[in-house]
Chains A and B, each alone.
Chain A
Amino acid sequence: MITRRPLVAVAFMAPAVALYLILVVYPLVQGLILSTTDSKIGNAADFVGLKNYAALANDSDVIRALGVTIAYAVVVVIAQNAVGLALARALFMRPRIRQLGSTLILLPTLMSAVMAAFVWNSLLAPDGAINALLKALGLGTLTHVWLGDPSTALWAIAVVNIWMFAGYSAAIFLAGYMNLPAELIDASSVDGASGWRRFTAVEWPLLAPATTVGVTLSLIGSLKVFELPFVMTNGGPAGSTTTLTMVIYVKIFGGGHGGFAYGATIAVLLLVIVVVFAGVTQALLRRREERI
Chain B
Amino acid sequence: MNHSTRRIRPDVALAGTTRGHRARLVAGAVVALSTLLIAGCAQTGTSGADHKTVLKVYGWKGGDAEPANVKQINAAFEKANPDITLKYSFIPSAAYPQRVQSELLAGNAADVVMTDSAKVQDWGSSGYLENLSSQSWVSGVRKEIGPFIENKGKTYAMPMEIIGISMFANNTLLKQVGVTETPKTWPEFLDDLQKLKDAGITGLSLPNKGGWTGDATTNAIAATLVYTSHPTFDADFVKGKASFSAWKSSLQQLLDLQSKGFIDLKSELGVDEWSTGISDFQAGKSAFYLQGAWNQATFTKAGLDDSFIPWPASNKDNAKANLFVGTMLSVNAKTKVKTAAEKYVAFWSENKNASLYLQAESAVSPFTKGESPTGAATKEFVAAVNDGRYRILPSNTWLSAEGETTLQQQVQALWLGQQSIDQTVKNLDEKLKPTS
Residues on A lying within 8 angstroms of B by beta carbon are: 39-42, 44, 118, 121-122, 124-126, 145-150, 233-239, 242, 250-251, 253-260
Contacts and interface: CB of A to CB of B under 8 A. Distances in A.
A270 B270 CA distance: 29
Interface of B: 97-98, 101, 104-105, 116-119, 121-123, 125-128, 209-211, 266-272, 275-276, 395-397, 400-403, 405, 408-410, 412-413, 415-416, 418, 435
Nearest to A42: B105
Contacts of B415: 237
Given A125-B271, A146-B270, A41 B405 contact: no
A42 B211 CA distance: 29
Contacts of A236: 209-211, 269, 408-409, 412
B270 A148 contact: yes
Contact of B209 (A42, A148, A251): A148
Given A238-B409, A253-B101, A145 B267 contact: yes
B413 A256 contact: no
B270 A44 contact: no
B71 to A, nearest CB: 27
Contacts of B275: 118, 121-122
Contacts of B397: 256
A251 B275 CA distance: 25
A40 B122 contact: yes
Given A42-B105, A145-B266, A255 B402 contact: yes
A44 B127 contact: yes
The majority secondary structure among interface residues of chain B is helix
Nearest to B397: A256
A148 B267 contact: yes
Contacts of B119: 255
Interface centre among A42, A236, A259 (most CB of B within 10 A): A236
Contacts of A147: 209, 269-270
A40 B121 CA distance: 9
A239 B410 CA distance: 9
A125 B276 contact: yes
A150 B418 CA distance: 10
Nearest to A128: B270
Contact of A235 (B105, B123, B403, B405): B405
Contacts of A150: 416, 418
B401 A256 contact: yes
Nearest to A151: B416
A39 B409 CA distance: 26
B209 A256 contact: no
Given A148-B268, A149-B266, A258 B122 contact: yes
A147 B266 CA distance: 11
A52 to B, nearest CB: 12
Nearest to B395: A256
A41 B396 CA distance: 16
Interface centre among A44, A238, A253 (most CB of B within 10 A): A238
A234 B122 contact: no
Interface centre among A256, A259, A260 (most CB of B within 10 A): A256
A238 B408 CA distance: 7
B266 A42 contact: no
B126 A42 contact: yes
A125 B412 contact: no
Given A118-B275, A238-B418, A255-B122, A233 B209 contact: yes
A234 to B, nearest CB: 4
Given A118-B275, A258-B122, A235 B270 contact: no
Contact of A238 (B268, B395, B413): B413
B210 to A, nearest CB: 4
Contacts of B116: 255
Interface centre among A39, A42, A121, A125 (most CB of B within 10 A): A42
Given A235-B409, A238-B416, A253 B97 contact: yes
Given A234-B209, A236-B409, A42 B128 contact: yes
A40 B126 contact: yes
Closest 4 CB pairs of A and B: A256-B400, A148-B269, A148-B270, A255-B118
A145 B409 contact: no
B252 to A, nearest CB: 18
Contacts of B418: 150, 238
A48 B118 CA distance: 23
Contacts of A44: 125-127
5 contacts: A42-B105, A150-B416, A237-B269, A238-B413, A250-B402
A239 B210 CA distance: 10
Contacts of B126: 39-42, 44
Contacts of A235: 211, 405, 409
A256 B436 CA distance: 12
